[in-house]
């Protein structure tokens, strides 16, 4: 009846009651009610998929947080990130990989990440966020955030001065360093210098 419809309107009430007591209708009503209960309790396939997606999203967030901290730590100490190779557990892989390996010894998130990276070593499409491109991207993002904070400091200060100095690099090309000195208005006035980069 659901596929064909009805046109016998005189007997419609009898046909509807027959349909309502049919096995097909009972089965479909049960399925519909179960779905309604599962949606109310959050036990649908979509909900499970969303939960697994959120777990994966959170894992990547934790991994990236650790990688950013490693890059910041190396940059603060003015240490090079890369070595002559980009392989894990290799003596010449550079400071970044060595810090990642060291952290993995004590941190379960990083340990789990390195296990995944090593198990997918042959799979070139596998994302691991340890390569040069992501390192450069993270450095650029961190740099932009630091510059943004410097600019906010400069705008908030009452007095500032610009210091420019030229120095030739290894290829004898002149590089102009840009430093801004400000009087920061905190509890008591403090003089700060911000290096904004080379031109």
Does residue 1 have a pLDDT over 50? Answer: no
pLDDT, one tens digit per residue, over 71-96 is 999 988 888 888 888 888 888 888 89
* Alpha-carbon distances of 20 from 1, 15, 26, 28, 29, rounded to whole Å: 11, 9, 7, 11, 10
- Which stretch of DSSP H or E encloses residue 59? helix 45-76
Is 107 or 13 the better-scoring residue by pLDDT?
107
What's the rounded Cα separation, in Å, for the pair 55 and 45?
15
**Range 171-179 average pLDDT:** 88
Is 38 or 143 the better-scoring residue by pLDDT?
143
Structural domain boundaries in the chain: 11-41, 46-135, 157-198
What's the rounded Cα separation, in Å, for the pair 80 and 152?
29
Is 110 or 186 the better-scoring residue by pLDDT?
110
**Cα radius of gyration rounded to whole Å, the chain:** 31
Does residue 61 have a pLDDT over 90? Answer: yes
Please, what's the largest Cα pairwise distance for the chain? 101
pTM, rounded to two decimals: 0.64
């Amino acid at each position: 009846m659901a596929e064909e419809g009805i046109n016998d309107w005189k007997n419609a009430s009898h046909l509807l009651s027959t349909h309502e007591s049919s096995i097909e209708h009972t089965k479909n009503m049960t399925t519909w009610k179960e779905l309604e209960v599962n949606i109310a309790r959050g036990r649908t396939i979509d909900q499970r998929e969303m939960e697994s997606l959120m777990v994966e999203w959170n894992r990547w967030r934790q991994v990236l947080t650790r990688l950013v901290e490693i890059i910041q730590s190396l940059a603060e100490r003015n240490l090079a990130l890369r070595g002559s190779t980009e392989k894990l557990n290799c003596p010449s892989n550079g400071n970044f990989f060595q810090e990642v390996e060291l952290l993995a010894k004590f941190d379960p998130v990083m340990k789990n990440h390195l296990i995944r990276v090593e198990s997918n070593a042959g799979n070139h499409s596998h994302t691991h966020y340890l390569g040069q491109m992501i390192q450069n991207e993270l450095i650029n993002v961190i740099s932009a955030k630091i510059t943004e904070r410097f600019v906010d400091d400069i705008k908030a200060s009452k007095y500032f001065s610009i210091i420019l100095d030229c120095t030739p690099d290894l290829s004898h090309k002149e590089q102009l360093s840009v430093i801004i000195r400000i009087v920061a208005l905190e509890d008591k006035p403090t003089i700060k210098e911000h290096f904004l980069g080379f031109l």
